[in-house]
Amino acid sequence: MDWSAPTWWWLAAGILVAAELLSGTFYLLMLALGCAAGALAAHAGVDSEWQIVVAALCGAGATAIWHYRRASAPRSAPVDRNRDANLDIGALVTVQAWDSERCARVQYRGAGWSARLAPDAPAGSGEHVIVAVQGNELILAPRQRNPS
């Protein structure tokens, strides 16, 4: 069986896609895109040297663009402070009093929780907002009042 050049390019693209599914890295898909460009160049009748150039430029270019996009994207907050990962972040609780170690016991969602005051936050009673959850301990900061 004699395979044509486009068949080899499509086979390489399929192998890269399968490798991406096994490894979970998105960069292999960019290289598969380069192989697909090489296959299209082969279908167009371009010489084999230029097929390789097209595949290399498309694959490397797509990889570079993807890398730049990921590097310039804003980083999400750490999991213990990320509202997308923990819906308790931003909720309000009432603190009666803080102890000498800046800890308190608060009622939240119908249960008693251990709470700790966020670093550099002033200790005072009243409403506090949950800024992080570390294990089973709430990290609290005083609620900021909007001036009206």
CATH number reported for the structural domain that contains residue 125 in this entry: 2.40.50.140
Are the CB atoms for 134 and 80 separated by under 8 Å? yes
Q: Is 99 inside any structural domain?
A: yes
pLDDT of the residue at 1: 63
- Among residues 31, 48, 72, the one where a domain terminates is 72
Read off the pLDDT of residues 22-47 as tens digits, 9 standing for 90 and up.
998 888 999 999 999 999 999 999 99
CA distance 137 to 143: 18
Specify whether 102 is located in the same domain as 135.
yes
Contact in structure between 88 and 94 (CB atoms under 8 Å) = no
Residue % of the chain over a pLDDT of 90: 63
| Alpha helices by DSSP H, 1-148 | 5-23, 27-43, 48-72
Query: Is the pLDDT reported for residue 147 higher than 70?
Result: no
Residue 118 belongs to a domain: yes
**Residue 79 above 70 pLDDT?**
yes
